[in-house]
Amino acid sequence: MTLRALGTWSEQQWQVVPGPKGPIAVKWFHWTCPAVLARTSQPIDLKYQAFARAVPRDLERIQVLAGIEARAIGTLERMIEAGRHGMAFIAAPDPGHHLRLALRRRFQPWAASQSWPDDWQTLVDAAVAEGMAASDQQVRAYATIGAEPPREQGQVDWTVPIEPLVVPDVEVPAG
């Protein structure tokens, strides 16, 4: 499996967690690997994860769990295989994240003092503009490394060209 031959691989135990319609069982798989951006030769750490989800009653059904886990691992394998062909996935720019950070910076002093400045609307507008500018800056930074938005239906991550990942040669001990 390419997954285990490249990078660092880990998996968590099945856990039952609250879900929107009741408890669900989940198991997370994590994979990380150093890579090099093709356009800039900068190092980048690829960090991928996938999860398997099941109904809690299936936790006793080994064959069912094996199939569910295989699908999650297959997702990771396809992403890693793309890396072997010089393509990596990175998180999409998140304007909401930048907006939240900017608003928190503005709101924290108000919350600490428990008073609102008279020009609070202007300050909120400025925070929104600051957050959106930070998001635009992230998109421009992505462009400098050759990142592209999703092209396929259902894909959420952006892609970025990297130096192809190479599976190391494994010596087989003489027996």
Q: Exposed (0-12), middle (13-18) or buried (19+): which is 98, by Cβ within 10 Å?
A: buried
Residue of higher predicted confidence among 168 and 18: 18
Instruction: Tell me which DSSP letter residue 57 carries.
Output: G
* Angle, vertex CA 127, rays to CA 124 and CA 132, nearest 5: 130
Give the model's confidence band at 29: pLDDT under 50 very low, under 70 low, under 90 confident, else very high.
very high
Q: For the chain, what is the radius of gyration of the CA atoms? A: 22
- Reported as a single tens digit per residue, the pLDDT across 106-126 is 888 877 888 878 888 888 888
pLDDT above 60: residue 170: no
Q: CA–CA separation, 167 vs 159, rounded Å?
A: 21
Residue 22's beta-bridge partner residues?
A: 20
Confidence (pLDDT) at 173: 57
Q: Under a CB-based contact definition with an 8 Å cutoff, are residues 42 and 21 in contact?
A: no
Confidence (pLDDT) at 171: 57
- Reported as a single tens digit per residue, the pLDDT across 84-100 is 999 999 988 888 888 88
